[in-house]
Chains A and B, each alone.
Chain A
């Protein structure tokens, strides 16, 4: 077992050595530009890109012509949201999303607002799921796009995408989903789910950083997005820029491996995750955040009340995890995702996200359980809030000096 133990697979995943192996020839030996149509160097690169396109498409049940390669999911989200707005703004100027989206979606929506668009940020229920009735009542004749994430990065809840897409389509809007955390972890099928645009990233599925894709539906309806970068008209004119051939080959291989191993991996990881969760919620005053049924198999987000998240992570220095504590974020605000579930700030400060992955072993999970239990217990001995709780003092009755 390697120390520290890596349990932050929602942030990024280690690259699978099989992915690296697939990529290696495309750096030095097969270096061609996939857009060079007149010599074998270009043909070899183009062939590799085409093959990768098929691998990516297959994982999400799409056709290879519907895959646009990008630099990652942030770019895919931006291209989808701004690109749809620019393309369809004559039809309507309204976009619907949720408050728990990734910043790439939220900030792209803010940009759309600056361009004259109107955006509705739907609240979520206490379990993190979108209320379909609220969605339906938010739809207007001007709504051109509904953008709702597939699986949440912080708490792992899986939104009812198929039902959401049906509502979007009923009202004549397109369905976009940021599926970065879901693709390759659970079965995602753009036709079964009714998805018109989908963002995915290689580095969350054991591929390289700096490459991702946007799925753009070609049939029923044919969706178009306005390019956000001017240049040589690559990727059917939607995304200019010389293709990152080794990265794309890596993304393709990563998708192929997920396709083959996803089902057994999901089973294995949910058993390990459940073991972790069950063992840790034995601790008094610990709470699992988000819906536990509709949840990605590898994620558990747990709040350990009366212990502060950053302090806890420092005690668990041999575990690489992340926290919703303000102290760990640049903004000094606790996690907006946890707060939108109605969690009080102190519980948001006390949260730890465990993200298991392909290379997580049972031994590592056992170690994580032991270290977490020990650290929470230790820090509670240091916590005045824990002492007050144990004495039966109602913390809400105290007038805290806000600072």
Chain B
């Protein structure tokens, strides 16, 4: 299968690879997927006092599209409020990276990781977690 240029770009030069201090109350961590399914994403956000995401990091075990999806997600997260970040839809990722149908689950995983990271942050800071209205799988 041929990959789109954008997937190759994110895969070759992944943005924001790394680890934030998951013990910090300013950091939200989302760990989604499963090793036996062939992809695991860990996405972390650093949030300031105004609930704006100032930094985002990821590490992903998975195929090129999974790595590219999480790399792109971290780029999009930076500078967004956690409310706006919650609105990122997996289909935006599919469109941006021109993912083929067989790779749509990679974008779903990235969206799940974003929501899991935001909810982790919300719970840590005394807010209710937001239930995802979408059922993907």
Interface on A for B, CB 8 Å cutoff? Answer: 306-311, 314-315, 325-327, 332, 334, 344-346, 349, 381-387, 395, 398, 400-403
A344 and B36 within 8 A (CB): yes
Query: B67: shortest Cβ distance to chain A, in Å?
Result: 6
Does residue B79 face the partner (Cβ distance < 8 Å to A)? Answer: no
B37 and A384 within 8 A (CB): no
B38 and A403 within 8 A (CB): no
B64 and A314 within 8 A (CB): yes
Provide the residues of chain A in CB contact with B59, threshold 8 Å: 382-384, 387
Does residue B126 face the partner (Cβ distance < 8 Å to A)? Answer: no
Provide the residues of chain A in CB contact with B19, threshold 8 Å: 387
Does residue B99 face the partner (Cβ distance < 8 Å to A)? Answer: no
Residue from B34, B62, B105 in contact with A401 in the complex, judged by beta carbons closer than 8 Å: B34
Interface string of B16-52 (1 = CB under 8 A from A): 0101000000000001111111111110000000000
Does residue B61 face the partner (Cβ distance < 8 Å to A)? Answer: yes
Query: B101: shortest Cβ distance to chain A, in Å?
Result: 12
Q: Which of B38, B64, B105 has the most CB of A within 10 A?
A: B38
Could you tell me how many residues of chain B have their Cβ less than 8 Å away from some Cβ of chain A?
A: 31
Q: If A311-B66, A314-B64 touch, does A382 touch B37 (CB 8 Å cutoff)?
A: no
Query: A374: shortest Cβ distance to chain B, in Å?
Result: 13
Interface on B for A, CB 8 Å cutoff? Answer: 3, 11, 14, 17, 19, 31-42, 59-64, 66-67, 102, 105, 108-109, 112, 137
A345 and B36 within 8 A (CB): yes
A310 and B35 within 8 A (CB): no
Provide the residues of chain A in CB contact with B66, threshold 8 Å: 308, 311
Provide the residues of chain A in CB contact with B3, threshold 8 Å: 314
B42 and A384 within 8 A (CB): yes
Q: If A311-B66, A382-B17 touch, does A325 touch B38 (CB 8 Å cutoff)?
A: yes
B67 and A401 within 8 A (CB): no
Provide the residues of chain B in CB contact with A345, threshold 8 Å: 35-38
Q: If A400-B33, A401-B32 touch, does A384 touch B38 (CB 8 Å cutoff)?
A: no
User: Bound complex: CA of A190 vs CA of B109, how far in Å?
Assistant: 52
Least CB separation from A334: chain B residue: B38
A-B contact pairs, 22 of them (CB 8 A): A308-B38, A308-B39, A308-B62, A308-B63, A308-B66, A309-B38, A311-B11, A311-B61, A325-B38, A327-B38, A327-B63, A346-B38, A349-B35, A349-B36, A382-B59, A383-B59, A384-B31, A384-B40, A387-B19, A400-B36, A401-B112, A403-B34
A385 and B34 within 8 A (CB): no
Query: B5: shortest Cβ distance to chain A, in Å?
Result: 13
Q: A384-B59, A387-B59, A403-B137 given. 18 additional CB < 8 A pairs?
A: A308-B39, A308-B62, A308-B63, A310-B38, A311-B11, A311-B61, A311-B63, A311-B64, A325-B38, A345-B37, A384-B31, A384-B41, A398-B31, A400-B34, A401-B33, A401-B112, A403-B32, A403-B105
Least CB separation from B105: chain A residue: A403
Q: Which of A306, A310, A326, A403 has the most CB of B within 10 A?
A: A403
Residue from A309, A381, A398 in contact with B17 in the complex, judged by beta carbons closer than 8 Å: A381
A314 and B11 within 8 A (CB): yes
Query: A114: shortest Cβ distance to chain B, in Å?
Result: 29
User: Bound complex: CA of A326 vs CA of B36, how far in Å?
Assistant: 10
Q: If A310-B64, A384-B60 touch, does A326 touch B38 (CB 8 Å cutoff)?
A: yes
Q: If A314-B3, A326-B38 touch, does A382 touch B33 (CB 8 Å cutoff)?
A: no
Provide the residues of chain B in CB contact with A311, threshold 8 Å: 11, 61-64, 66-67
Residue from B35, B42, B108 in contact with A395 in the complex, judged by beta carbons closer than 8 Å: B35
Q: Which of B3, B37, B67, B102 has the most CB of A within 10 A?
A: B37
- Rank and list the top 9 A-B pairs by shortest CB-CB distance, nearest first: A400-B34, A345-B36, A346-B35, A384-B42, A310-B63, A384-B59, A314-B64, A349-B38, A327-B63
B35 and A400 within 8 A (CB): yes
Query: B22: shortest Cβ distance to chain A, in Å?
Result: 11
Provide the residues of chain B in CB contact with A332, threshold 8 Å: 102
Query: B71: shortest Cβ distance to chain A, in Å?
Result: 9
Query: B16: shortest Cβ distance to chain A, in Å?
Result: 11
User: Bound complex: CA of A327 vs CA of B61, how far in Å?
Assistant: 13
Provide the residues of chain A in CB contact with B14, threshold 8 Å: 382
Q: Which of B19, B42, B61 has the most CB of A within 10 A?
A: B61
